[in-house]
Structure 1
Amino acid sequence: MSSHQTTEQLKSLRLAGMAEAFDHQIGSPAFQDIGFEQRVQMLVEAELARRDTQRYARLIKSAKLRVQAAPEDIDYRPSRGLEKTKVADLLTNTWIRHHRNVLLTGATGTGKTWLACALAVNAARYGISVHYQRTAIALEAMLIAHETGDIEKIRNQFVRPQLLILDDFGLVSLSTRNKTDLLELVERRGEASTIVAGQMPVSKWHEYIGDPAVADAIMDRLVYSSLKIELKGESLRRTRGKST
């Protein structure tokens, strides 16, 4: 059997990474003195690497992040109030494995959305499913779904991901239906993690939700065991504008 036939058979078995690495080995004299077992191991590693890359691409595409933010580019300037040790702990994804939540608050432009998306990108790198949505849009989608009969389908879009980002929390008032939908969502995500980002301080959330019983239930499930980060300083958009 020719090397070309071997390559085509590997591709037919959906081992494209191994096929590419096999072609590379055949065409390079550098591999001639490497033992059989080691060369096979290199082929397997190439296939695994390709699958990891493809999985990451799928996760990022389905996440629909507002920005593609790299964790390596997080801005730790002292004025932001962002502790390196706290962020370093978040980047281990331990909080996701333990089903904890992260609450990001701060004035407009302080980088809440960017940081949330950076944590999401980091999670996707480790094979964790992610979904991003603005809170108002998520609540509106569920409100419409009650009328169309698709509420379970829409809820599942927000419940299934291992990490959900609810951005711009607190920007619009909540109807009675919104409140019960929000409670149902955080209740069903009890075995998953959620990042909630918004300008409103956590101390005002109970008052914002309004209904004491629903507010107590949401705060109990979403807030009390969460990791909280309050971003400070001047708007990063304004700062970048000045530097430009």
Structure 2
Amino acid sequence: MPFEQRLGLLLDEELSSRDNRRISRLLKQAKLRYNQAVLEDVDYRSSRGLDRLQIQTLAGGEWMRQKQNLILTGPTGTGKSWLACAFGQQACRQSIATYYTTATRLFEDLSVSQADGTLPRKRRQLSRMPLLIIDDLGIGGIDLQLGPILLDILDQQSMEGALIITSQYPPEKWYDLFGDPTVADAILDRVVHRAHAISLKGESMRKLKSKKIS
């Protein structure tokens, strides 16, 4: 094999190894709930109401680079969290730093940070994420005192990156979640008006899997 060809293969191998290490590092930092979820494995059965072209277009990641948002809604078990993690995986492949958290854990972290004086640092950490995933918004309710803090985080983060929110509740129901209509309106203004929306339908995917096993 000529020297130039051997050198080219070595360079390709080194670049591939660097890419894999970078993706592994980003995935570790992302802390995705479903770290094996990938968009190539999306189940497009008609009952789920998914648009293959929309998913493939979103997979390109331009909406993330344009600092837009993605809202995934639907009943429990329809695969919202899995799909959010698949988009998180796709972001890491495209060198977009990602952070996943459930809404419940986020509010717990904010409460602790508020109590121990580390809230400014926590706020900066979340606000600077190129892709922030908040899973299951509305589960367990939203503390009135934390609504304005979340608004501040989303306000700053909207200038830095993209956002994925999953919820059993459609955006028009979010007013009831926050209790304070002013905060709810401000959050909706920052999230919904520049968001892509996917509404999942059908039977719980967990129930379908258990039926196959039985």
Which consecutive segments of 4 or more residues in structure 1 shift more than 4 A? none
Question: How far, CA to CA, are the matches of 2:129 and 2:11 in structure 1?
Answer: 29
Match of 2:65 among 85, 97, 106: 97
Aligned length: 211
Residue 111 (structure 1) aligned with residue 79 (structure 2): yes
Q: Any stretches of 5+ residues in structure 1 without a counterpart?
A: 1-32
Secondary structure class of the residue paired with 1:75: coil
Indicate if the aligned counterparts of 1:105 and 1:231 stay in contact, CA closer than 8 A: yes
What displacement does 1:160 show? Answer: 2.5
Identity %: 41
- Structure number with greater CO (CA < 8 Å, separation at least 6) is 2
Could you tell me which residue of structure 2 aligns to residue 56 of structure 1? 23
Residue 196 (structure 1) aligned with residue 165 (structure 2): yes
Question: How far, CA to CA, are the matches of 1:63 and 1:175 in structure 2?
Answer: 25
Cα deviations across residues 9-67 of structure 1 (Å, max 9, x unaligned)?
A: xxxxxxxxxxxxxxxxxxxxxxxx32x33332322222111111001111111111111
Could you tell me which residue of structure 1 aligns to residue 196 of structure 2? 227
Secondary structure class of the residue paired with 2:44: coil
Could you tell me which residue of structure 1 aligns to residue 42 of structure 2? 74
Cα deviations across residues 123-170 of structure 1 (Å, max 9, x unaligned)?
A: 111111111100111112112111211112222332232111100101
Indicate if the aligned counterparts of 1:124 and 1:130 stay in contact, CA closer than 8 A: yes
Cα deviations across residues 155-211 of structure 1 (Å, max 9, x unaligned)?
A: 233223211110010112222221011101110111211100011111101232221
CA RMSD of aligned residues (A): 1.2
Letter of the 1:206 partner, please give it.
Y
What displacement does 1:214 show? Answer: 1.2
Q: Any stretches of 5+ residues in structure 2 without a counterpart?
A: none
Indicate if the aligned counterparts of 1:170 and 1:198 stay in contact, CA closer than 8 A: yes
Indicate if the aligned counterparts of 2:73 and 2:170 stay in contact, CA closer than 8 A: yes
Match of 1:237 among 202, 206, 209: 206
Secondary structure class of the residue paired with 1:87: helix
Indicate if the aligned counterparts of 1:56 and 1:127 stay in contact, CA closer than 8 A: yes
Return the index of the structure with the highest Cα Rg: 1
Match of 2:53 among 60, 85, 102: 85
Residue 178 (structure 1) aligned with residue 146 (structure 2): yes
Secondary structure class of the residue paired with 1:102: strand
